[in-house]
């Protein structure tokens, strides 16, 4: 077990980033998709739902709905039932159709590749936009802040904020831009595998001696 040590804050942060890269060199988006539209839909469905459940639902969903127009023209009740296992299916179905109509009307069914345009889509906030931009377009416009990133960042003392937007700003200020995309995935993987919400595995954590919240 590592013993905590006092080191300058910037050195601690650099060491955290390095260890995350070493621990999760293959970290990537867990949502299965084959194009930007599928990633957008899957990310919207992942709200208050596990990626595993979303992947189970989208396996059939993506065979049935292949274009933005398919979602826009779908029978609302039928779409609701198709995504029901992801939870909050009525509001999610409504947002999916609203977003799909915007894609059809403004972008010829194409998912836009800018933050400004993505944020104009109903049901899309920065978390979803960052995921789509980073994974589908390899564009680092921000850092994905989901429940895992929020929890891990707070426990590591990288932020004291509660609001995802402020947490993202704090992380963007200390993580080099060229690492934003990978850092998001590494933090999510760490939150799922080690730094879990209810029972963090501190003894096995590669960041143990750098974490102010670690149980030694």
Confidence of residue 215 (pLDDT cuts 50, 70, 90): confident
- Residue 15 buriedness (CB in 10 A; 0-12 / 13-18 / 19+): middle
pTM for the full predicted model: 0.94
- In this predicted structure, the answer to whether residue 1 has a pLDDT above a threshold of 50 is no
**Is CATH 1.10.1670.10 the right assignment for the domain spanning 9-28+143-210?**
yes
The catalytic site residues sit at 127, 146
Question: Domain 36-137 carries which CATH code?
Answer: 1.10.340.30
The residues spanned by each domain of the chain are: 9-28+143-210, 36-137
The token pair at 200 is: 């963090």
pLDDT in tens, 131-149: 999 999 999 999 999 999 9
Domains 9-28+143-210 and 36-137 alike in fold: no
pLDDT in tens, 22-61: 999 999 999 999 999 999 999 999 999 999 999 999 999 9
Report the pLDDT value the prediction gives residue 7, as an integer from 0 to 100. Answer: 83
Report the pLDDT value the prediction gives residue 4, as an integer from 0 to 100. Answer: 59
Residue 161 three-state SS: coil
Which of 33, 39, 30 shows the shortest CA–CA distance to 129? 39
Taking the CB of residue 90, how many other CB atoms lie within 10 A of it? 13
**How many whole angstroms from its chain centre is CA 132?**
9
Q: How far apart are CA 87 and CA 11, in angstroms?
A: 42
């Amino acid at each position: 077990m590592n013993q905590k040590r006092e080191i300058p804050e910037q050195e601690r942060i650099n060491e955290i980033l390095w260890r995350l890269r070493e621990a999760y060199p293959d970290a990537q988006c867990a949502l299965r998709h084959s194009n930007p539209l599928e990633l957008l839909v899957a990310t919207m469905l992942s709200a208050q739902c596990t990626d595993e459940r979303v992947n189970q639902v989208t396996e059939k969903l993506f065979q049935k709905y292949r274009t933005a127009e398919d979602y826009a023209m779908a029978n609302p009740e039928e779409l609701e039932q198709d995504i029901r296992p992801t939870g909050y299916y009525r509001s999610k179905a409504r947002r999916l159709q609203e977003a799909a109509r915007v894609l059809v009307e403004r972008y010829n069914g194409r998912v836009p590749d800018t933050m400004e345009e993505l944020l104009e889509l109903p049901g899309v906030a920065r978390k979803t936009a960052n995921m789509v931009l980073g994974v589908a377009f390899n564009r680092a416009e921000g850092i994905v802040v989901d429940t895992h990133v929020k929890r891990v960042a707070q426990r590591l003392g990288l932020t004291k904020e509660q609001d995802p937007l402020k947490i993202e700003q704090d992380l963007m200020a200390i993580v080099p831009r060229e690492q934003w995309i990978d850092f998001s995935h590494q933090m999510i993987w760490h939150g799922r595998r080690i730094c879990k919400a209810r029972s963090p595995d501190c003894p096995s954590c590669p960041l143990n001696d750098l974490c102010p919240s670690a149980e030694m």
